[in-house]
Amino acid sequence: MARKPRLFAPGILYHVIVRGNQRQKTFLSAVDYQTYQDKLTQYRRKYDVTIYAYCLMPNHVHLLLECSKTPLGKFMQGLQQTYTQYYNRKYKKVGHLFQGRYKAILCQKDAYLLELVRYIHLNPVRSKLARTSQDYRYSGDPAYRSGKATAIVDPRAVLKMIGGTSGYRKFINDGQDGGHREEYYEIADQRFLGDEEFGEELTRTYEDEEPKKRRGLSVVVKELAAVLKLDIEQLRAPSRGWKLSQQRTMIGYILVRRAGYTVKEVAGYFGRDATTISSILSRYDGRVEKEPEVRRQLERLAKIV
């Protein structure tokens, strides 16, 4: 069955779950956890996202958040891609680190906000990674216990609902022995957690975040080539000249990293091997992070797609 497009609803509560590709670990050191938290801070600020709770587990991530005007997909794209670039460069890997499609569940805020904050912060306890939630460093739990906002989480709105930090500690302790809650994952229509009217109202009110039909890859390449004043046949030719190769790589980067085409699609269009394309893009990730001029060029091109 085809997957339904994501629904974007500003100000609506999302429970986002991101898993490692083929269940692989996505955090191998304390530096990895800190790097993901740094990028979470960066993109939260950039796109004005409110994060109520989060937890970084060895092979998956939980986020409880609200978006403002920017769609969730743009926030997640920046967060996931830049961490993957860091991870692949550090561990000399190529390809996808996370599963291709993260789960984004729209939740009825009045009914589920408090429960999901507790459920997410107790994830390490259920997984036996920590005896209590306060023993685990990579979540929003410390902010709630201190009552002070951090770069990622501002707990004050939730703390007002449950009697401050002492109320939070009691709330967490009361749920300490709770197990896995399948109803938080297997939800109505695979995207709503709430009563029937909640999902129906959102569907009527908001439009799908993802476009009904993606533009053809050849059309996008033609537009990018026109900006760069390149001939399409030159781009697709076997020529390995340095300048042309750099421009081809830049277009490939935009297609895969920004426009969402697969490496296989791009490799097929240019008549290259998919493994070679993946390796080239992974190396290019390093240039993107280190060279401001390259980033500026990419941002200019990305506006086209």
Q: What is the C-alpha to C-alpha distance for residues 251 and 254, in angstroms, rounded to an integer?
A: 5
Average pLDDT, the chain: 84
Residue 148 Cα to chain centre, angstroms: 25
Cβ atoms within 10 Å of 37's Cβ, excluding its own: 18
Q: Is residue 270 part of a domain?
A: yes
User: What domain count does the chain have?
Assistant: 2
The reply to whether 106 and 186 lie within a common domain is yes
pLDDT classification of 295: cutoffs 50, 70, 90: confident
Q: Which of 152, 175, 205 is the last residue of a domain?
A: 205
Alpha helices per DSSP H over the chain: 30-46, 72-91, 109-121, 123-126, 141-146, 156-161, 164-174, 196-205, 217-228, 232-236, 242-253, 263-270, 274-290, 292-302
Q: Is residue 187 part of a domain?
A: yes
Q: Is residue 7 part of a domain?
A: no
Q: Is residue 105 part of a domain?
A: yes
The reply to whether 194 and 168 lie within a common domain is yes
- pLDDT attached to residue 287: 80
Q: Is residue 123 part of a domain?
A: yes
The CATH number of residue 228's host domain is 1.10.1750.10
The reply to whether 180 and 245 lie within a common domain is no
Whole-Å CA distances, 223 to 220, 227, 234, 266: 5, 7, 15, 15
- pLDDT attached to residue 213: 45
**pLDDT tens string 40-96:** 999 999 999 999 999 999 999 999 999 988 888 889 989 998 999 899 999 998 778
Q: Which of 150, 173, 205 is the last residue of a domain?
A: 205
Which percentage of the chain shows pLDDT scores above 70?
84
> Do residues 51 and 153 touch, judged by C-beta distance below 8 A?
yes
Expressed as residue numbers, the domain containing 247 is: 217-302
The reply to whether 185 and 83 lie within a common domain is yes
Q: Is residue 169 part of a domain?
A: yes
The reply to whether 230 and 86 lie within a common domain is no
**pLDDT tens string 102-140:** 888 888 888 889 999 999 999 999 999 999 999 999 999
Q: What is the C-alpha to C-alpha distance for residues 207 and 7, in angstroms, rounded to an integer?
A: 6
pLDDT classification of 5: cutoffs 50, 70, 90: low
Q: Which of 205, 231, 256 is the last residue of a domain?
A: 205
Helix axes 164-174, 109-121, angle to 10 degrees: 70
3-state secondary structure of 63: strand
pLDDT higher than 70, residue 2: no
Q: What is the C-alpha to C-alpha distance for residues 26 and 60, in angstroms, rounded to an integer?
A: 7
The reply to whether 29 and 58 lie within a common domain is yes
- pLDDT attached to residue 212: 41
The reply to whether 183 and 252 lie within a common domain is no
The reply to whether 125 and 237 lie within a common domain is no
pLDDT classification of 188: cutoffs 50, 70, 90: very low
The reply to whether 182 and 237 lie within a common domain is no
> Do residues 184 and 126 touch, judged by C-beta distance below 8 A?
no
The set of residues, in sequence order, having a beta carbon less than 8 Å from that of 300 and lying 6+ positions away, is 227
Q: Write down the pTM of the prediction.
A: 0.68
The set of residues, in sequence order, having a beta carbon less than 8 Å from that of 231 and lying 6+ positions away, is 225
The reply to whether 201 and 74 lie within a common domain is yes
**pLDDT tens string 131-175:** 999 999 999 999 999 999 999 999 999 999 999 999 999 999 998
The CATH number of residue 140's host domain is 3.30.70.1290
The reply to whether 26 and 99 lie within a common domain is yes
Structure tokens at 32: 């990895």
Q: Is residue 3 part of a domain?
A: no
The reply to whether 71 and 199 lie within a common domain is yes
Q: Is residue 8 part of a domain?
A: no
